[in-house]
Chain A
Amino acid sequence: MLTAFLISVGVLCAINTLLALLMVLAEATIGNYGSVRVTLNGRRELTVDGGKPLLAALKEHNVFIPSACGGRGSCGLCKLTVENGGAPLSTELPWLSPEEQAAGVRLSCQLKVKRPLRITVPEEWLSVRQFAARVAALRDLTYDIKEVRLQLIDPPTIDFKAGQFIQFEVPPYALSDEPVYRAYSIASDPRQRGEIELEIRYVPNGICTTYVHRHLKEGDPVAFNGPYGNFYLRESDRDILFVAGGSGMAPIKAMLHQMAHEQNPRRTLYIFGARARRDLFLLEEMREFERRLPRFRFVPTLSAPAPNDGWTGATGLVTDVVEREVSEVSALEAYLCGSPLMIDACVNLLKKKGLPEERIFYDKFA
């Protein structure tokens, strides 16, 4: 009985070991592509371990490609152009338009590096870095929005354009068993390079927002990478219309800091939408910007003020206020940040008013 038992266990272990050995051997011989050269934007040469997905290989060389799903091919964010990558795999097709397929766009998480590749990524991704930081302060802006101030440790400073975002890394905890990345706009002044501020709204059962609202404490170490995004103030002398709702305040606030430094003379209207008085925040800061920027006007609007709010300001949705306040669009640029619903409604309204689409910039919370 005992011998039979031991034989079974022994044979099972032997089969397992044999198959494992076989796979290790196969990996080392068939799956070994040696070192492969990747040429980045025609000027930087990287030598990466062959056989890995491009996304992971680039990350090892501190080239960070935006990706929200961690390389499973389910978010479609990690697109880049590969000159000699061949046809996309069927796992990539749902994310690539026919034009992109023709241009050689691939999902870098699906493309394995097996031969020298020539790739092109947007120039601004090359300034993307991985940062180690520490929570310097946490502050409740409203009952459901927290301001998170992060002090940078390694590297100690960051250069970003006002309006850009970072990807915050949530370590594994009760709600997720692997690291999760979520994008948040930087709310702080780009000149203040050693610290960044994020504004994070609580979403019930949101992996990242629950972590930030329920678990994060002052002094905790955190990691993020960035900066990303092309939502930033364009150089021109057109009037500016900012529209934001909720934590869409963040990138606009960074832009206002920048404008205040430059003593920007452009006529600027900022319409901020909230439901009730308790959803408004940073009003003092906005009044301060109004003092520092003579042509800047801040208009908060409440869509459903509570009876005891004593609200005397604008009411209605942001689109109602845009309808009332914006009449002349010939010298206007619009910057929108908030929920997809709000943005779609504003874009439609502004287009109807005659504002060309290429002068509407927005950052949608997905």
Chain B
Amino acid sequence: MNPQLGWLTVLFAAVFTNNILLTNYLGMCSFLAVSREVKTSLGLGAAVVFVMTATSVLNWIVYYRLLVPLHMEAFRFIVFIIVIAAFVQVVELVIERVSETLYAALGIFLPLITVNCAILGVSLFMVIRQYTLAQAFGYGLGSGLGWLAAILAMAGIRQKMAARSRVPRGLEGAGITLIVAGIMALAFMGFNGMVNLN
């Protein structure tokens, strides 16, 4: 759509102005479930950064080198999903084999994010916005970092809340987390206008 944008600009925009979590509200379920502690959030976030970057590049290649020449664009949903699933599975096996520390920190989260809609979302947006390979890389990496930033911020807030806020009983857990996410999204709207990806 905007071919003159450099991949670094796309990366910046994906973190701040077009944060996949806070503007598109994708990847919500693991965001709500795992954002209780900063340490686990960091592990999950790092796994998301890695998988998003790798799968957006992989899916870019599959889409433009395989699906487009064969006029199979309509199949991108199912193809993207199975590419992501297979990639994550293999990466998990490799990590488990290579390093126990890395597996403990990152590997156990991989099965969780196979079905994370933000990962698929990134691949689909990259097609809609007609990114080049470099832009797709920047977008995948940026979205991952943006997701990581959002979940870290949320985990920090939730840890503080758990220690000192008196949350009304009916709002405990997912309720208050969604409200906080909404306020965070409002804050991120402040970045709007710096770069526009759409």
Chain A positions within 8 Å of B, measured between CB atoms, are 4, 7-8, 11-12, 15-16, 19-20, 22-23, 26-27, 30-31, 86-87, 89-91, 112, 114
B97 touches A19 (CB 8 A): no
Closest 8 CB pairs of A and B: A19-B86, A30-B93, A31-B93, A26-B90, A30-B97, A8-B72, A26-B93, A89-B108
Q: What is the bound-complex CA distance between A4 and B69, given in angstroms?
A: 12
Q: What is the bound-complex CA distance between A248 and B70, given in angstroms?
A: 68
Closest to A110 in B: B108
Q: What is the bound-complex CA distance between A8 and B66, given in angstroms?
A: 11
Closest to A30 in B: B93
B43 touches A90 (CB 8 A): yes
State which of B77-85, B117-125, B179-187 sits at the interface with chain A: B77-85
Extra inter-chain contacts (5) besides given A12-B72, A30-B90, A112-B96, CB under 8 Å: A15-B82, A16-B82, A23-B89, A27-B93, A30-B97
**B71: interface (CB < 8 Å):** yes
A11 touches B72 (CB 8 A): yes
**B40: interface (CB < 8 Å):** yes
Closest to B36 in A: A94
User: Which residues of B from 63 to 79 have beta carbons under 8 Å from A?
Assistant: 66, 70-72, 75, 78-79
Q: What is the bound-complex CA distance between A86 and B100, given in angstroms?
A: 9
Q: What is the bound-complex CA distance between A12 and B83, given in angstroms?
A: 12
State how many angstroms separate the Cβ of A151 from the closest Cβ of chain B. Answer: 42
A26: which of B40, B78, B89 is its contact (CB, 8 Å)? Answer: B89
Q: What is the bound-complex CA distance between A346 and B85, given in angstroms?
A: 52
Chain B positions within 8 Å of A, measured between CB atoms, are 39-40, 43, 66, 70-72, 75, 78-79, 82-83, 86, 89-90, 93-94, 96-97, 100, 104, 108
B86: which of A8, A23, A87, A114 is its contact (CB, 8 Å)? Answer: A23
State how many angstroms separate the Cβ of A124 from the closest Cβ of chain B. Answer: 31
A15 touches B108 (CB 8 A): no
Q: What is the bound-complex CA distance between A12 and B80, given in angstroms?
A: 11
CB contact under 8 A between A19 and B40, given known A8-B75, A30-B94, A89-B104: no
A89 neighbours in B (Cβ, 8 Å): 104, 108
Q: What is the bound-complex CA distance between A170 and B15, given in angstroms?
A: 49
Q: What is the bound-complex CA distance between A313 and B131, given in angstroms?
A: 82
A-B contact list, 10 entries, CB within 8 Å: A7-B72, A8-B75, A12-B78, A12-B79, A19-B83, A22-B90, A26-B90, A30-B93, A90-B104, A114-B96
B70 touches A11 (CB 8 A): yes
Q: What is the bound-complex CA distance between A177 and B70, given in angstroms?
A: 40
Q: What is the bound-complex CA distance between A96 and B90, given in angstroms?
A: 30
State how many angstroms separate the Cβ of A27 from the closest Cβ of chain B. Answer: 7
B90: which of A15, A23, A87, A90 is its contact (CB, 8 Å)? Answer: A23
A20 neighbours in B (Cβ, 8 Å): 86
B93 neighbours in A (Cβ, 8 Å): 26-27, 30-31
B94 neighbours in A (Cβ, 8 Å): 26, 30
Q: What is the bound-complex CA distance between A114 and B98, given in angstroms?
A: 12
A86 neighbours in B (Cβ, 8 Å): 100, 104
CB contact under 8 A between A90 and B79, given known A23-B90, A26-B89, A30-B94: no
A22 touches B86 (CB 8 A): yes
B70 touches A87 (CB 8 A): no
A4 neighbours in B (Cβ, 8 Å): 71
Q: What is the bound-complex CA distance between A17 and B72, given in angstroms?
A: 17
Q: What is the bound-complex CA distance between A4 and B82, given in angstroms?
A: 22
State how many angstroms separate the Cβ of A143 from the closest Cβ of chain B. Answer: 35
B78 touches A87 (CB 8 A): no
State how many angstroms separate the Cβ of B75 from the closest Cβ of chain A. Answer: 6
A90 touches B108 (CB 8 A): yes
B70 touches A7 (CB 8 A): yes
Q: What is the bound-complex CA distance between A329 and B187, given in angstroms?
A: 64
State how many angstroms separate the Cβ of B110 from the closest Cβ of chain A. Answer: 12
Closest to A15 in B: B79
B43 neighbours in A (Cβ, 8 Å): 90
Q: What is the bound-complex CA distance between A87 and B101, given in angstroms?
A: 9
Q: What is the bound-complex CA distance between A15 and B39, given in angstroms?
A: 37
B86 neighbours in A (Cβ, 8 Å): 19-20, 22-23
Q: Which of B39, B94, B108 has the most CB of A within 10 A?
A: B108
Q: What is the bound-complex CA distance between A27 and B39, given in angstroms?
A: 30
